[in-house]
Amino acid sequence: MKLTSLALLGLHGLASSRKVNWQKPGLCGVQQVQPNVEVFEDVSEMQRRLNTTFSQLGRSSPSITPHRLRKMKLKASLRIVGGKEAKQHSWPWQVYVVLNGMYYGYYDSGVECGGTLVDNRWIITAAHCVGSSQVSGYVRVGIHNFRDDDTDFSKRLVKRAVIHPGWDSSTFENDIALLELVSDAIVDPEDISERQRVTPLCLPNEQTCFDKRTPCVVTGWGVYDSKTYARHSELQEVAVRLMPKHECTKHKTYANYVKPSMVCAGYEKGGKDACAGDSGGPLMCRVKDQNSDSYTDKWVLYGVVSWGIDCAKGGQPGIYTSVPAMYEWIHETTGLKSDKKFRFDECQTYEDKLEQEWADDVVNVFPTAPVSEVEYIPEEEIPRKCEIDWSGTLTDEWQTMNSHKGMDKAAWARNGAPKYTTKPYDTNNDCILSLENTDETKIIQLELTSSRVDCNGLSTARSYSASERAEAGDMLEIISVSDDRFSMYSDDTCSIKRKHARVIQDTTQIIVNFSTDRFRALNRKTLREDTKQKFDIGFQLKYRLKFRYHDCEASPQQKLAKGDRIVLSSENYGRGLYSYGSQCRFFVEAEEGATLKWEVIKVISKRRTRGNGVCDLNRDDNLLFLDSDGCQDADLFDEAGVAKNGLISESFCGKYKKPKRFIAKPFGFDKERVCIFFSAKAKALGENPNAKQGKGWQMVVTAE
């Protein structure tokens, strides 16, 4: 394949969108709104406020049967017990998840859970919230009251779900899943007000660990009626204590089911806990400065709400999936990297004191941080490729160039571009192909026979963000290097029907520039790549070297024996229009003793003059029969380039609404030879190269 870099010609491709490393400290895990001081209120006081209605209300539990899980419908995301309403936007990484899919063998819709934003396109939630990887749904970002109608801003569609391969629904081991979004959660990273509402939480790594003193918080939208599963509209919050395993596993069920990949959090005597549902929500802990006793302004995601027995009861704390234990899988799936600052040398020992210190020091523990300036990731070169299917050579024979190898070339040649395809052209194409000629007697001819290229980015019309739609769009340019007036750009090339094939010619070089974006049209229901693509269809063109002044199909030199018959026609006759500067020169001669006769079958050429019915040789597209011994320039023109006198025997121009057959008759020359000459005048007259030309002509010559 012949690829040439032609930057000096101003050819261009589509750049990739700018990306932000949201896992950089200062961008992730930083609040602009200080949380409530009361969240760290004394646990004994909070315990007295508990509503005993919740004594029978549990989270998802390994002991709950699939039938009961089905009955619960998993719609009651986490109930915060012993907590209170959070300040609006004080936990800007909390998201509200609504999914549809298969759960324990049954289809369920509108399953509600919590989740945590860790990147502009990735949410972490619980595996039991997802059910299977074949899900659809959405998340809402930057909300406080989930019943608010601000869905235009907050709703982001889920593109796909990735469940941890070790997820075990019978033991709730590896209860974690990732949701990839169709569009960015943060539309404008430089919008300070938007980042106050929506900010990712920092990821830990496998060496992140916290002691008992660490401030940890669980958030979610809480259930307050165990029978109806009615829930708080506003986001709830509660502070919990990380618990050592010997405290956590005193209950028999916990002893059997708590695994190393799980984290316990709550209180030995109960009182504060996460509850029934908001499974998938965050357990987040404050990062401590390793060089001092003070806490930083950063939070990390330490756990994912998973399961528990009842709520806030003594000896039965909440169980969370350990995110540090899942870090490698998260990194491999998303490419996200935790900052090295969260790689701790050791875990400190547990201490008894907690609540009062938090309450006394809350202003220092929870300072709001200044908004860090966004730093964009240096754009890596996206591996660009060129999947155009062509020979890489230029000869006198017609050759085909196809947009990609998967297309049905024969069907394209026969019918043109289909309405849809299951084998679209490749994304991230960056092709600049050069056809070059050094033979002065010849010219490059290229015919764009059919095309359907998504130049307007229609594949992103649904299910993509405004910024992605602005980025989308493919490009097909066919450039005449000698004269740019004849070039065809995307406005001319993106949709070409076979019967309206476009032709371009150049004496020295033609460039084909084909660049594609990274998008595919998504199925509206599944939000996965649609199996039938309507926009990224492809193109097919053909090209060759030909004699410089001859655009017609048949050979310019014809010699007929007695009884021979040939059909001559203009460029693209029967398939489209002849080109902007089309010329044909046929020199036909008969063998000795034979007589040439002609019969014009049809003429539809472009005529610019009206009135007396006589063709204007300088302005109309004429078909001429010339009494000449040849069809070269020297035979037809004098040294000044002026046509020689007395050569024209017959001329035809204009349009016949109904094809007329002329009576076959001899040319009437003394010699049995003729130069049949056709010339389109649009190029010489400086008209628009893309203007519509004529359909052409056809004739028959016989030797009798």
DSSP assignment letter at 329 = H
Q: Which of 89, 128, 164, 404 is catalytic?
A: 128
Place of tokens 């259930």: 223
Q: How many CB atoms lie within 10 A of CB 542?
A: 18
Q: Residue 608 corresponds to which tokens in the numbers above?
A: 């610019």
CA 157 to chain centre: 14
Tokens of 182: 């169709």
Tokens 């970002």 belong to which residue?
141
Tell me how many helices (H) and strands (E) the chain has. Answer: 14, 32
Residue 668 CB burial class (10 angstroms; 0-12, 13-18, ≥19): exposed
The DSSP secondary structure of 68-98, one letter per residue, reads HHHHHTT----EEES-EEPPTTSSTTEEEEE
Query: 175, 184, 454, 530: which one is catalytic?
Result: 175
CB 217 within 8 Å of CB 40: no
Least Cα distance to 531 among 545, 521, 517, 541 occurs for 521
Catalytic residue among 60, 279, 515, 570: 279
How far, in Å, CA of 139 to CA of 510, rounded?
49
Distance CA 80, CA 49 (A): 13
Going from the C-alpha of 73 to that of each of 172, 280, 561, the distances in angstroms are 17, 15, 88
Q: Which two tokens stand for residue 434?
A: 């050069």
Which two three-digit tokens encode residue 497? 């029907």
Q: Does the active-site annotation cover 154?
A: no
Residue 550 annotated to the active site: no
Q: How far apart are CA 74 and CA 102, in angstroms?
A: 12
Is 12 an active-site residue? no
List Cα–Cα distances, 194 to 139, 160, 689, in angstroms.
17, 25, 49
Q: Which two tokens stand for residue 484?
A: 């740019």
Query: Please, how many CA atoms are within 13 Å of residue 305, restricted to the half-sphere of its CB?
Result: 37
* CA gap 243, 241 in Å, rounded: 6
Q: Which positions are annotated as active-site residues?
A: 128, 175, 279
